[in-house]
Amino acid sequence: MRLLGARVRRPAEPPAVPEALQIAGAWSWRLLAVAGALALAFWIIAQLRIIVIPLMVAALLTALMIPLVGWLVRRRWPRGLAVAVSVVLLLAAITALFWLAVSQIREGYPDLQRRAIDSYDGLRQFLLESPLHLTEADLARYTDTIGEAVQDDTQQIVASALSVGSSLGHLLVGLLLTVFATIFLLLDGARIWRWIVGIFPRRARPAVDGSGRAGWVTLGNFVRVQVLVAAIDAVGIGLGAFILGLFYGGMPLVVPIAVLVFLGSFIPVVGAIATGAIAVVVALVALGPIPAVIMLGIVLLVQQIEGHVLQPFIMGTAVKVHPLAVVLAVAGGSIIAGIPGALFAVPVVAFLNVAITTIATGSWRTSPRPTDVTEVPVA
């Protein structure tokens, strides 16, 4: 028997919104907030790309040269002199590489032009004698059609040519900014990093410092391994083109092809495909279809060795990023920012992967903080 005045409990009413929908809504607005923040960050980067791209290139160059600077400093060289010698050696190597490529192109272009004319005459004769039963009038009509298509694009070509002055000015500004940023990162990287860490709240600074240093080590590993992979690709394809030329009467532009492969390999996946296609086209124009097929086989063989041997065992260990993530990062970076996006996608993903993992696992509390000058800009 219930006591008088006792409060009777009513059964709880079901919530107006199901729990699953509440959870989905909570996730949705948080994801929208993160997406909005990322979109704003990308927009700011796009507006400041003339500054951001040189700074990112400077970071990669700093990671590449810091071992040499550290080696000189450990042998009692003044740090300023060590940085100056390292930068001069880098600029000399890049200048020598481009000079070699340009001089070889100038020497090989007349031969390539002559062979291209011979190849065109041979193709024209083949079409006239082929079962397609083409006539001189048909070939002339097709040639006129191609000429009209080129003429229709003349306005766009002229507009692009008029913008060369502005692009060239931006390029020069970017090069100067890259050189100055690299010098100051090598000279005063420690103080710059301490200033960046100091922006964060005091309690978060140890985690930020540890994760950033771990990411920097991974970035340095990526740059050095990428140089090795690019050199192996260039030697493999260049040597294949040279041997192919020995059997088919000489192949022009072997050295420029090797240089292009070396430079293009710094853009994972996309660069290797583009430069390999150039090598195949040169072989087709200069030597004919059969050597072009052989050149294609050489390019595919070198890329298979890179994809199944170098990338998994060397790059995978150094960067700690799955090959699928590399492909997706390059594709996403190229969609967002074109060639610069494809170039910086993998190092950015590798840096963020290690930094976030370091914070999430709390390994920054127990792992020794790298202080060697070969690992961080300055100890």
Tell me, yes or no, whether 73 lies in a domain.
yes
371 CB-contact burial (10 Å; exposed 0-12 / middle 13-18 / buried 19+): exposed
- Residues 160 and 221 both lie in one domain: no
Residues 144, 250: one domain? no
**Do 160 and 259 lie in a common domain?**
no
**pLDDT value at position 62?**
92
Is the distance from CB of 94 to CB of 175 less than 8 angstroms? no
Same domain, 191 and 210: no
Higher pLDDT, 227 or 321: 227
Say if 306 falls within a structural domain.
Answer: yes
Query: Tell me, what's the pLDDT at 303?
Result: 79
Which H/E stretch holds residue 275?
helix 270-287
Is residue 228's pLDDT more than 70? Answer: yes
Residue 152: pLDDT over 70: no
**Domain coverage including residue 273:** 202-372
Model confidence pLDDT, tens digit, residues 164-199: 445 667 778 888 899 899 999 998 888 898 899 999
Indicate if 275 and 334 belong to the same structural domain: yes
Domain-embedded: residue 58: yes
Judgement on whether residues 206 and 321 belong to the same structural domain of the protein: yes
Q: What's residue 113's pLDDT?
A: 74
Q: Is the domain of 120 the same as that of 179?
A: yes
pLDDT at 372 > cutoff 50: no
Residue 70 has pLDDT above 60, yes or no: yes
- With 0-12 CB in 10 A as exposed, 13-18 as middle and 19+ as buried, what is 105? middle
Left if phi > 0, otherwise alpha if psi is -120 to 50, otherwise beta: which for 376?
Answer: beta
> Based on the domain organization, do 161 and 217 belong to the same domain?
no
Task: Identify the domain boundary among 142, 166, 199.
Answer: 199
pTM (whole model) above 0.85: no
Residues 19-57: b if buried by 16+ CB within 10 A, e if exposed:
eeeeeeeeeeeeeeeeeeeeeeeeeeeeeeeeebbbebb
Cα–Cα dist 182/177, whole Å: 8
94 or 378, higher pLDDT: 94
In percent, how much of the chain has pLDDT > 70?
A: 76
Residue 32: pLDDT band by 50, 70, 90 thresholds?
very high
Q: What angle do CA 140, 124, 254 make, to 5 degrees?
A: 120
Query: Three-state DSSP class for 267?
Result: coil
The pLDDT of residue 370 is 53
Over range 270-289, report the average pLDDT.
80
Residue at which a domain ends, from 166, 199, 232: 199
What is the percentage of the chain residues whose pLDDT exceeds 90? 10
Same domain membership, residue 192 and residue 245 = no
353-360 average pLDDT score: 86
Q: What's the confidence (pLDDT) of residue 304?
A: 79
> What band does 253 get if pLDDT is binned at 50, 70 and 90?
confident
**Residue 40 counted as domain residue:** no
What pLDDT score was predicted for residue 81?
92
pLDDT at 330 (0 to 100): 78
Contact call for residues 279 and 262 (beta carbons, < 8 A)? no
Task: Choose one of 182, 199, 216: the last residue of a domain.
Answer: 199
Task: State the average pLDDT for the chain.
Answer: 78
- Is the predicted pLDDT of residue 158 greater than 70, yes or no? no
Q: What is the mean pLDDT of residues 334-361?
A: 84
DSSP 67-134: HHHHHHHHTT--HHHHHHHHHHHHHHHHHHHHHHHHHHHHHHHHHHHHHHHHHHHHHHHHHHHSTT--
pLDDT at 68 over 50: yes
Q: Could you identify the residue written with the tokens 């070198």?
A: 302
Q: Is residue 9 part of a domain?
A: no
pLDDT in tens, 91-149: 898 888 888 888 877 777 777 777 777 777 777 776 677 676 667 776 677 776 766 66
CB atoms inside a 10 Å sphere around CB 288: 15
Cα diameter, the chain: 113
Rounded Cα gap, residues 77 and 81, in angstroms: 7
Give me the mean pLDDT over the 267-289 stretch: 78
- pLDDT higher than 70, residue 258: yes
Whether 101 and 223 map to the same domain: the answer is no
Angle 334-335-340 from CA coordinates, rounded to 5°? 35
Indicate the number of domains in the chain. Answer: 2
- The residue with greater pLDDT, 151 or 355, is 355
In this structure, the answer to whether residues 68 and 81 fall within a common structural domain is yes
Asked, for residue 71, whether it belongs to a domain, the answer is yes
Do 206 and 148 reside in the same domain of the chain?
Answer: no
Q: Which residue has the higher pLDDT, 76 or 327?
A: 76
pLDDT category at 20 given cuts 50, 70, 90 is confident
Q: How does DSSP assign 5-60, residue by residue?
A: TPPPPPPPPPPSS-HHHHHHHHHHHHHHHHHHHHHHHHHHHHHTHHHHHHHHHHHH
